[in-house]
Chains A and B, each alone.
Chain A
Amino acid sequence: MKRILFVDDDPMVLEGLENMLRSERRRWRMVFAVGGTDALAAMEAEPFDIVVSDMRMPKMDGLALLRRTRERFPKTVRIILSGHTELEEMIKSVDIAHQFLSKPCGAAVLKEVLNRTCNLMDLLDEESLCRAIGQISALPTPPRMYERLIETLSAPACTLEDVLEILEQDVAMCAKVLQLVNSAFFGLERPVLGIREALQHLGVNLLKNIVLSVESMEELGGAARLPASAVEEFQTHALLTAHIAARIRPETMSRDEVFTAALLHDIGRLIIAQAFPREGTVASAALFAPDDDSRLHGATHAEIGAYLLGIWGLPHPIVEAVAHHHRPERVAHDGLDVIDVIYLANLLARQHLGLPEAEADFERGLAYLRQLGLEARLPEWRQAAQEAALQLKGVQA
């Protein structure tokens, strides 16, 4: 049974929440704490899977509470439920909270968020894994990339295209932007699955604001655990996959969405390299290990990546695609799905870049293709891969 802690300084809010979530009382153990101090005491008494907290509370505000939570109980997923409408408040929370909800938050939305998060937590068994991932507020971006972004954002005539061009190349920043824009704060009708669409919603100015004020993103530039060159190589693979996926996708699929999901597919590797440096091995080894089922603490890089994106509130289709990007057969679907596209693009990219075990993986891929009856399209797709690689050389110049 999942355990969820709700924190607010107004007892009526808590009572209302308790009433509203009554139907879930058999699935979730729910505790309602008035104020930060009581909340921490509750967390000391028993571990919680999720904490949902108000932002502005006297004596200990929501952010302070969540910061302590991250320190003491990094595994607990941190969600803000705030009545404040200012953007600054939301930006402040980006470093600390996984997700941000606005009051008034309807029953349906809250239940969906909690359900989704609970399901995610089933994806990974291992405590240490969840703890490590729960602590991450941002992933490494090569300093060069970060600087380029700042430079571009600061230029007076900066357009969306200029920014997109850079953002599209960086896995970590893409993930962060998607986390932000999918925050219920923006009250968007549908979840945002593509980085271009995300930028359109945020706008250049807001992005600039965020990039400059979000601490974690600033730190990244210097996060020295991974050599920048390794991260850059990693990004190349991600980018190539994305470009190939964009090319081989069926017309009906949104380019933006396919591109974005493909870009993020291997984010788990980045997480592992960053958060779990194995002794005796170069941290970057994780970035290029074979695409097999090797597990770190019982989870593949796919699951790890999906977990992070999930607790960050990214939309389900992306999370799913990342989770199953090299076992597409696991997800029931008809015809060619985003997952398939990414799977194939990944294979082609790895093959092109000559990454470990690429050929073996490719053979397996072929078998899958035959199963789907799409073998005939392979040459066309190989061609697309070549073109994508060329295009990439141009982009990365």
Chain B
Amino acid sequence: MICPFDASFRDEGALVIAMNAPMTKEELLDLLNSSPAVTYVLRSDSDFIHMSWISQNVQHVFGFEPEAALSPTWWLENVHPDDLLVLENQLRRESFHQGRRSVNEYRFRHADGHYVWIRDERNIFATEEGGFKKAVGTLIDITDQRQAATMLKRAEEQHAVSELKFRHILNQLPDYVYVLDNDGRFLLANAALCTAMQVTEEALLGVSAFDFFPSGSARMLKQDMLRIFETGELLQSEVVIPPQKDGPYPHGELRLLSTRFPYRGPDGQRLGLVVMASDVSETRRMEVELRHAQKLESVGRLASGVAHEINTPIQFVGDSAYFLESAFQDRQAVVRLYQELRDAVANGADPAPLVEAIRQAEEEVDADYLQAQIPKALARIQDGVGRVATIVRAMKEFAYPDRQEKNPADLNKALLSTITVARNELKHTATVQTDFGELPQVLCRVGDLNQVFLNLLVNAAHAIEDRLAAAPEGPEGLIAVRTRCEDGWVRVSIQDNGMGIPDEIRERIFEPFFTSKEVGRGTGQGLSIARSIVVDKHGGALDFETEPGAGTTFIISLPIEASGEAA
């Protein structure tokens, strides 16, 4: 540390320092000798400048005896050779006027050989002619400072590099990233956002996000920001941006998965809001397609079963119609005889031979049989046609393409039609029992729910199949479907007496693509899609109870009032 003090000479051979309080010479020398700075005086003797006095602390600071330091060559010897030339040039060029200060920084050798950096500051006294009279200076060890300066510079460089890296990454991200201050003004916006919004980052800085984004989004952003500031926690949600004709997304809606959290400074104080948004439009679209594909897959799997369910009634409808045709002919033959009899009686002819003929004819065609069977055949035809109509109707309801919005639906009816459609798949394994409570209409996407019901029913049948395969003597397969309405919720339970779910996999059954079934029996999508439909799309719950070896019950809970999609 340099002590800036004004030096003025009153006395040759001594220094008097102008200070607030006068000092004795001894006190002054003590001060100089204990300072971290080495003080010296230069004089000129016939053009030769030499050090005439140096403070005692030269020993402490540089390791030299004061006497040694006063030797004419001392200074020259100990300046670092690389710095000497520069210094000499500079010194020679200096002009001398009174009070001129001159400062140099160079390396000087300590007595034990190592070099230290020093700052050499001189105050020069000139003669009236402008020549060198004398100079007073200080030498201060600035090694630490210089190191610090170097380190600081390096740190700044590193910081610049890291800043560049960070920027680079930020601007390469396809996600939109921006930071707002506590009032919602932009502090940072990455390239993705700027490109999308067709602005530059500079233009955004300081602009209020609430003015910048379209009103709907801005409003939601503000709401979220306030909420996040209140709770101090991260908020993640899906944001839908409707198509805007003049905006950056004129086609189709944009779905963003938006993550927002408080922007904090080094001491934890809240400086603003960080927002990161990923475009999940494509993913969502694919999810919809996947769901549809899964639905078609199950429809396809059922198709052959349904074909059988249709072929069977068609068989007996055809047979019954065929029979009715010949039965009619047969009866006609007899009726004609009766007509002849009627005419004969009317004409007074002998009825006896005709009666005999009738008796024979009736025996021939087995009139009793016809009497009994014709109504049965007619009923059978009605039944068969009805069966086919039911299946076709159920298939139609089942395979109907999804409408986006929710409609009120009777879930009992939906369950019945799903059971019908799946009947062929189920009937060989288990008896299906239904216990339907009174249900109000539920606002829902019934096509999706049918898919859920189907997946659960098929799973139930498979579980029973597995149990029977392992232990054929076991109880017969039973699937019980029960519906109830309780406290604003509709509960559908599907219970089977199958294998049950082993403890080890209980956690995993809702995972997409997780399956314990062998190839060909399902892709493992059923439960994960079911969960997604019930929980995400309808705000409901999908739970299960299970006992390995005894069976499983899945319970779907749906709110009667749709709560909308999960926020």
Contacts and interface: CB of A to CB of B under 8 A. Distances in A.
Given A12-B384, A22-B326, A83 B311 contact: yes
B510 to A, nearest CB: 31
Interface stretch (B6-14, B49-57, B146-154, B375-383): B375-383
Given A12-B383, A84-B308, A106-B318, A22 B323 contact: yes
A83 B307 CA distance: 7
B10 to A, nearest CB: 115
Contacts of B315: 13, 16, 83, 103-105
Contacts of A56: 308, 428
A17 B308 contact: no
A71 interface: no
B30 interface: no
B317 A16 contact: yes
B253 interface: no
B298 interface: no
A58 B304 contact: no
A16 B321 CA distance: 9
Interface string B310-345: 011111111110111011000000000000000000
A35 to B, nearest CB: 12
B427 interface: yes
B428 A16 contact: no
Task: Give chain B's interface secondary structure class.
Answer: helix
B400 interface: no
Contact of A85 (B308, B313, B324, B373): B308
Contacts of B377: 15-16, 19
B166 interface: no
Contact of A15 (B312, B376, B427): B376
B249 interface: no
A23 B312 CA distance: 22
B369 interface: yes
Interface of A: 10, 12-13, 15-17, 19-20, 22-23, 25, 56, 58, 61, 83-86, 102-107
A106 B323 CA distance: 12
B392 to A, nearest CB: 15
Given A12-B384, A84-B304, A102-B311, A23 B318 contact: no
B320 A16 contact: yes
A4 to B, nearest CB: 15
Task: Give chain A's interface secondary structure class.
Answer: loop
A296 to B, nearest CB: 40
Interface in B376-404: 376-377, 380, 383-384
A322 B373 CA distance: 43
Given A23-B326, A58-B427, A102-B311, A16 B316 contact: yes
Contact of A16 (B318, B326, B327, B366): B318
Contacts of A23: 326
A15 B324 CA distance: 13
A103 B323 contact: no
Contacts of A83: 307-309, 311-312, 315
A395 B384 CA distance: 56
Contacts of A84: 304, 307-308, 311
Given A58-B427, A84-B304, A16 B311 contact: no
Given A22-B369, A83-B307, A86-B304, A12 B326 contact: no
Given A102-B311, A104-B315, A15 B304 contact: no
Contacts of B318: 16, 20, 104, 106-107
A84 B366 CA distance: 35
A264 to B, nearest CB: 33
Interface in B391-447: 427-428
B521 to A, nearest CB: 15
Contacts of A58: 427-428
B380 A16 contact: yes
For the complex of A and B, 7 pairs with smallest distance between CB atoms? A16-B316, A19-B323, A16-B319, A83-B311, A20-B319, A83-B308, A104-B314
B314 to A, nearest CB: 4
Given A56-B308, A83-B308, A83-B311, A15 B428 contact: no
Counting chain A CB atoms within 10 Å of each CB, the highest count among B304, B323, B383 belongs to: B323
A166 B377 CA distance: 52
B319 A103 contact: no
A184 to B, nearest CB: 13
A12 B386 CA distance: 13
Given A19-B377, A20-B319, A103-B311, 17 more contacts: A12-B313, A12-B383, A13-B312, A15-B376, A16-B315, A19-B320, A19-B322, A19-B324, A20-B323, A23-B326, A56-B428, A83-B308, A84-B304, A85-B307, A103-B315, A105-B315, A107-B319
